[in-house]
Chains A and B, each alone.
Chain A
Amino acid sequence: MQATTTSRPVTGSPSGMRKEIGNTLLLIFTALLALGFMFPFLWGISSSLKTGFEVIAYPPSLLPKSPQWYNYVQAWQEADLGQFFWNSTVVTGLSLIGQVISSFIVAYGFARFRFPGRDLLFILCLSGLMMPVYVTIIPLFTLFRWLGWINTFKPLIIPTYFGSAFAIFLLRQFIMSIPTEFDESALIDGASRWTILTRIIMPNCQPALATVAIVGFMASWNNFLGPLIFLDRVENYTLPLGLWFLRGTIDDALPRDHLLMAGAMITTFPVLLIFVFAQNYFIEGIVMSGIKG
């Protein structure tokens, strides 16, 4: 984007020198800022690898004297994080499958069919994005209680099988950018609408599907209020809820902050991993959805 301004010969002339110094300063500033953003993580990782005594020592050491990898094993087994991790994986995995498939089908309906009231229904769908969670959560709680779903994963999983407003919006925008000529020629060849969806639309929608999957993953994996309200028994807790629970049960006699930090890292790593793998898809999806306004 900046090619036209930066591709001019910059060396030699005094103004070029000034520009070069300016760019270096800017780079240093960017790096410092990035370090600031990263610091809480790096500190968390460092603390998670210290011994229980080193972690509360004053002054704190920047790096652990010898990294205690066993802390992670201890957090996983003794602090039950393994169980919480498994619960989070089940909830996130199942709700992700439901959300992506159903949102994709619904988005296809909104993007490729003409029917009375379509635009109004779509606006209704979008209005769901503006609604605070609190305005539905009380009746949902009474509904799920009536259904006997409290203390199960069902309240966290089943609603996702009916699509999510954000995913439907993003996928619809994306499908609408695919030329309809493909659909029409396939229709003439006698393909069914369903075949068009799976054979033509789906292969062309991969960046959008990846974006929807990442956003859905993060929403489900990070969800705190839902599990807090719908899950009572500790053995059902998801990771964020489990972390909160662990913090509340800290026995003051024993320093366990290193284990808590290990827990925070265990909760964060899967998100980072998925993001690093799908980074380009994700950003492309945000840009292509036209969300920029």
Chain B
Amino acid sequence: MTTRESTPPFADRLPAPRAIRTRMSAARRREAFQGYLYISPWIVGFILFIGGPLVASLYYSFTYYPLLMEPSWVGLQNYATAFFKDRLFWLSAWRTALWALTTVPLGIVGSFFAALLLNRAVPLKTFWRVLFFLPSLTPEIAAALLWLWILQPDVGIVNSTLKGWFGIIGPDWLAGVDTAMPSLIMISLWSSIGSVRMLIFLAGLQGVPQELYDAAVVDGANWWQKVWNITLPMISPTILLNLILGLIGSLQVFGLAFVATGGGPAYATYFFGLHLYQTAFRSFDMGYGSALAWFLFTVILVLTLIQISFSRRWVYYAGDAKD
């Protein structure tokens, strides 16, 4: 602002590149100031509710911090407890790994084929799309209650049908050590196959050029060859996105298990999120809970980076010049 006052009176008649530059930079500065002003709500929110807490929980993870006391520094003790003493740490970590290794691939394959089906010229396309999408709109807790009722051991529709039609006495699905996990996986697939993931696949499928399929038909390719050689490579960026988002989501599984099984029976569905909740909000061991949270965060970061670096081998970007 002060530079403008010091501009000589005849500046507009002179070529004076310097004057123009300073005036432009004043406009630039004004723009930058306004830009910061517009994004300032996010900056404040980020510091208060994301960045600050992130740093705080990292600090807490090195402390002994029962809720009603001040945190006291214990170094790596929480991490040592987790890795070498806490049996439930590894148990819940492996349960969660099993959950992610089943629900993510099955869910992505399911969503892909659902999108493939709905992308065909079936009549009433929009209608079917809404019906497929419906389960993912059900609030997690409502879905858990619906399935608890469907899988109810005595009068639930599944066991009643098994008994009435085949004379089989069905198990208590969600309360059996062997059946609880598969039941939860099934519920999760029900609610995730037709979800936003399917819509993202649909959007990806619509971006595949029709000429490629036409050329393949001329060459005598069958349905599966078209899917394998054209569709999959062309939508591989979409698959990568769904893999990354799916893994991040699945490692945080909580509500469904909390309501449907409570982590039981005999810890069969005791996921990492449940262990963290128990530690931090039932035992109020905030320090150890924070260490668990940072372990999960690190795992998610590492797995995401691995996926991105491996993706160079199998993800094809149509606009890319690649050798």
- Using CB atoms, name the residue of chain B closest to A261: B149
Q: Does A182 make an interface contact (CB < 8 A)?
A: no
B37-58 residues with Cβ-Cβ distance < 8 A to A are: 37-39, 41-46, 48-50, 52-54, 56-57
Q: Does A89 make an interface contact (CB < 8 A)?
A: no
* Bound CA–CA A288/B292 (angstroms): 38
* Residue pair A124, B145 in contact (C-beta under 8 Å): no
Q: Mark B164-208, 1 if CB is under 8 A from A, else 0.
A: 100000000000000000000000001001101001100111110
Q: Mark B145-157, 1 if CB is under 8 A from A, else 0.
A: 1111110101101
* Residue pair A222, B46 in contact (C-beta under 8 Å): no
- In the complex, chain A residues whose CB is within 8 Å of the CB of B240: 293
* Bound CA–CA A38/B148 (angstroms): 16
Stretch touching chain A among B11-19, B78-86, B101-109, B117-125: B117-125
Across chains A and B, the number of contacting residue pairs, with CB separation under 8 Å, is 280
Q: Does B90 make an interface contact (CB < 8 A)?
A: no
Q: Mark B229-247, 1 if CB is under 8 A from A, else 0.
A: 0000000011011000000
- In the complex, chain A residues whose CB is within 8 Å of the CB of B42: 102, 106, 125, 162-163, 168
| Residue in contact with A1 in the complex, picked from B32, B35, B210, CB distance below 8 Å | B210
Q: Does A130 make an interface contact (CB < 8 A)?
A: yes
* Bound CA–CA A222/B300 (angstroms): 24
Q: Does A225 make an interface contact (CB < 8 A)?
A: yes
Q: Does B296 make an interface contact (CB < 8 A)?
A: yes
Q: Mark A156-179, 1 if CB is under 8 A from B, else 0.
A: 000101110000100000000000
Q: Does B286 make an interface contact (CB < 8 A)?
A: yes
* Residue pair A130, B254 in contact (C-beta under 8 Å): no
* Bound CA–CA A229/B281 (angstroms): 7
In the complex, 12 of the A-B residue pairs with CB atoms within 8 angstroms, ordered by the A residue number, are A4-B214, A5-B217, A6-B121, A34-B128, A37-B193, A41-B138, A105-B38, A106-B41, A130-B304, A132-B297, A133-B252, A139-B57
CB distance from B53 to the nearest CB of A (A): 4
CB distance from B315 to the nearest CB of A (A): 9
| Residue in contact with B122 in the complex, picked from A27, A118, A162, CB distance below 8 Å | A27
Q: Mark A171-191, 1 if CB is under 8 A from B, else 0.
A: 000000000000000000000
B257-300 residues with Cβ-Cβ distance < 8 A to A are: 258-259, 273, 276-277, 280-281, 286, 289-290, 292-294, 296-297, 300
* Residue pair A224, B254 in contact (C-beta under 8 Å): yes
- In the complex, chain A residues whose CB is within 8 Å of the CB of B54: 131, 135-136, 139
Interface bracket on B: 35 or more
- In the complex, chain B residues whose CB is within 8 Å of the CB of A41: 134-135, 138, 146
- Using CB atoms, name the residue of chain A closest to B317: A293
Would A268 and B142 be within 8 Å (CB), given that A106-B39, A113-B31 are in contact? yes
Closest 9 CB pairs of A and B: A162-B45, A109-B38, A113-B35, A293-B237, A115-B32, A139-B53, A139-B56, A109-B39, A136-B53
Q: Does B100 make an interface contact (CB < 8 A)?
A: no
* Residue pair A44, B146 in contact (C-beta under 8 Å): yes
* Residue pair A43, B157 in contact (C-beta under 8 Å): yes
- In the complex, chain A residues whose CB is within 8 Å of the CB of B139: 221-222, 239-240, 267-268, 271
Would A225 and B254 be within 8 Å (CB), given that A138-B60, A162-B41 are in contact? yes
* Bound CA–CA A286/B152 (angstroms): 37
Q: Does B1 make an interface contact (CB < 8 A)?
A: no
* Bound CA–CA A145/B194 (angstroms): 39
Q: Does B88 make an interface contact (CB < 8 A)?
A: no
* Residue pair B46, A132 in contact (C-beta under 8 Å): no
Would A134 and B35 be within 8 Å (CB), given that A125-B46, A240-B139 are in contact? no
Q: Does B321 make an interface contact (CB < 8 A)?
A: no
- In the complex, chain B residues whose CB is within 8 Å of the CB of A142: 56, 67, 286
* Residue pair B53, A5 in contact (C-beta under 8 Å): no
* Residue pair A30, B128 in contact (C-beta under 8 Å): yes
* Residue pair B160, A58 in contact (C-beta under 8 Å): yes
- In the complex, chain A residues whose CB is within 8 Å of the CB of B160: 58-60
Q: Mark A28-53, 1 if CB is under 8 A from B, else 0.
A: 01110110011011011001000000
* Bound CA–CA A265/B251 (angstroms): 28
Q: Does A57 make an interface contact (CB < 8 A)?
A: yes
* Bound CA–CA A225/B277 (angstroms): 9
